[in-house]
Structure 1
Amino acid sequence: MALLRRKNNPEARMSLGEHFKEFRNRATVAFIAILIGGIIGWLRYDDIWQWLQEPINSVARERNNPDVKLNMGGAITDPFSIKFKVALWVGIIASSPVWLWEIWAFLAPGLTRKEKRTGLGFLAAAVPLFLVGCWASTFALPNAVKFLLGVTPEGVANFQDGQTYLTFVTKFILAFGFAFLVPVFLVALNAAHVFPGRIMLKGWRIAVMAIGVFAAAMSPSPDVWSMLVLMGPMIALYFAACGISLFMDKRRDSGRPEWLDVPDDERSPL
């Protein structure tokens, strides 16, 4: 069927209805992958939840204050809701290779063969970078929680709402993961002839400042270590994206006909 379709439609054009059908099919596959990952998260909930609340337990042990703990007493449905959200969060992370692939595959039909090969390289880089970003967040999270709870006066109980704490932790970790994907999207924009490498490199000061602000906001700790855990790799990845983009620009320019570089007023009429 694929061969017949390619012969009848060599330019791989799709109608609007076919685009919607393609999107629905790929969204379904991504949803099923997230669901399977969510089931794993549901079954391993006790271990995962124990790990997620360890930063608060660590603060309680250091301050010798048993009144620093999580509270699930906001509503009778909170324990179930928290377990469901943890399972969904695990499903999103565990299924990241699948839904990243589906996003790329949905865009791939509109790309040339060379661009598809480049896209596969982006995908191969995006999956490990996303997972490494999530892993790197585990170094900054304990310090962030320790700082935020550290201003609690001695002898004062600090019962954290489970829903609020879970939202903070999961967004914190996912923010690191998506932050590590930024260089991949920068190179993708370069491959699409939208963002030249020289513009990226020229604006490195603004980029470093923006990365520093982002790292400081996501790692609100008085020590520099937790901020550098995010800022250092992001700066390195940004300059790596600049280098790759400059290399790709050079390759494109080397294959560009010389007559295209001649101003319009200097070209000879046909």
Structure 2
Amino acid sequence: MADPAAEKTERRGAKKRRRRRHNPDGTMSLIEHIYEFRRRLGYALLAILLGGVFGFIWFQTKLGPIPSLGDLLTGPYCDLPQADLLTARNGGKCQLLQTVPFEAFLIQLKVGIAAGMVVVGPLWLYQLWAFIAPGLYSKERKYALSFVGFASILFAAGAVLAYVLVPGALALLVSFGADQFVTALAGEKYVSFVLSLLLIFGVSFELPLLVVMLNRVGVVSYDQLKRWRRGMIFGLFVFAAFATPGNDPFSMLALAGALVVLFELAIQLARFHDRKLAKQRKAEGLEGLDDDEAAPFEYTPSSADEPEPAQPSRFGGSKNTDDIT
């Protein structure tokens, strides 16, 4: 008796071979693109759902030496001086304040989904890449993979820096009026503050990568970046002032300082790239040419390029054999 699983695998393999035989270059019609997008989107949503379930469980469960997600989230808040916190319940245990029913569940669900998306990020990012990659050339794929890899590293670095700065920012914010107020942060507002800070720092750290990629494709040059340096640094400080959710000078200066350092690093990378490109153009004899100027290539016409002699036409006159009739 045949194995049903083996028959199913064989049919699937035959279907793939038939598809390659009838469609060897990988092109698809519009409806096939839509079906492929629906399939990839379904797999990505399934991965995010599984990650959300994992994050929801992780919120209150320790994973060996790794603390629970709830402890990681409330850690900066609990690091504040105990004299400033409302810790009368449960023997002085540090806890957030739930102001409306069902708030704790929604916070756990939101944070669990966010953390789960990070944990299973390679799975749903692969589905996105599998949908886009067939339409790219090999060089474009190399650039795309480099961009995604460095973007992930920079985003993680920004988020880690934001998490390190949260205790200092909170301590500064709650220090005002400490004699007249006691700190009992509402769970929703505190979680929104922390997640916003992580997201803003992570996205902001992508700026130098964007500058490097624009330089690679020839949109901006090192000379332009050098002229714009002062204005861009001032703009980074203005951006940091408006982007930080707490509006505290501590996180604002930290974000602006980190962006300035990364922007200067991007400028130096652009300088190195432009020097290398200039040497390459000089070696090829293209130095001093504008982008819209013809290159001085030497061309020697061959006999195959000479037009064939005109032949008499049956309607009179002459006709070239290269003409389309």
Tell whether 2:218 aligns with 1:204.
Answer: no
Cα gap change, 1:109 to 1:183, in 2 (>3 Å): farther
Cα gap change, 1:50 to 1:8, in 2 (>3 Å): closer
Cα gap change, 1:20 to 1:262, in 2 (>3 Å): closer
Cα gap change, 1:123 to 1:139, in 2 (>3 Å): same
Match of 1:126 in 2: 151
- Would you say the 8 A contact 1:71–1:162 is kept in 2? yes
Match of 1:34 in 2: 48
Tell whether 2:102 aligns with 1:77.
Answer: yes
Tell whether 2:38 aligns with 1:24.
Answer: yes
State the Cα RMSD in Å: 3.8
State how far apart, in whole Å, the 1-side matches of 2:113 and 2:241 are: 27
Q: Deviations over 1:45-89 (max 9, x none)?
A: 132222222333233415366479631132x21111011011012
1:42 maps to amino acid: F
Counterpart selection for 2:113 from 53, 74, 88: 88
- Would you say the 8 A contact 2:158–2:205 is kept in 1? yes
TM-score (norm. length: structure 1): 0.76
Q: Deviations over 1:229-249 (max 9, x none)?
A: 433432233233334445555
Cα gap change, 1:251 to 1:35, in 2 (>3 Å): farther
Cα gap change, 1:193 to 1:105, in 2 (>3 Å): farther
Return the offset for 1:173.
0.9
Match of 1:230 in 2: 255
Cα gap change, 1:31 to 1:64, in 2 (>3 Å): closer
The answer to which structure has the higher helix fraction is 1
2:45 maps to amino acid: F
Tell whether 2:97 aligns with 1:53.
Answer: no
Which one is further off, 188-197 or 89-98?
188-197
- Would you say the 8 A contact 1:126–1:184 is kept in 2? yes
State how far apart, in whole Å, the 1-side matches of 2:172 and 2:160 are: 20
State how far apart, in whole Å, the 2-side matches of 1:153 and 1:60 are: 11
Q: Within 5 Å, give how 1:258-269 maps onto structure 2.
A: 258=286, 261=291, 263=293
1:147 maps to amino acid: L
State how far apart, in whole Å, the 1-side matches of 2:118 and 2:211 are: 22
State how far apart, in whole Å, the 2-side matches of 1:199 and 1:139 are: 35
Q: Could you say what secondary structure the match of 1:37 adopts?
A: helix
1:116 maps to amino acid: R
Aligned residue pair count: 264
Match of 2:200 in 1: 175
Q: Could you say what secondary structure the match of 2:79 adopts?
A: helix
Return the offset for 1:44.
1.6
Return the index of the structure with the highest Cα Rg: 2
Q: Could you say what secondary structure the match of 1:154 adopts?
A: coil
Return the offset for 1:38.
2.1
2:53 maps to amino acid: I
Cα gap change, 1:107 to 1:252, in 2 (>3 Å): farther
Aligned-pair identity (%)? 30
TM-score (norm. length: structure 2): 0.65
Unaligned runs of 5+ in 1: none
Tell which has more relative contact order, 1 or 2 (C-alpha 8 A, sep 6+).
1
2:198 maps to amino acid: I
Unaligned runs of 5+ in 2: 1-15, 61-67, 89-93, 297-325
1:32 maps to amino acid: L
- Would you say the 8 A contact 1:211–1:234 is kept in 2? yes
State how far apart, in whole Å, the 2-side matches of 1:101 and 1:112 are: 18
State how far apart, in whole Å, the 1-side matches of 2:172 and 2:126 are: 38
State how far apart, in whole Å, the 2-side matches of 1:247 and 1:143 are: 37
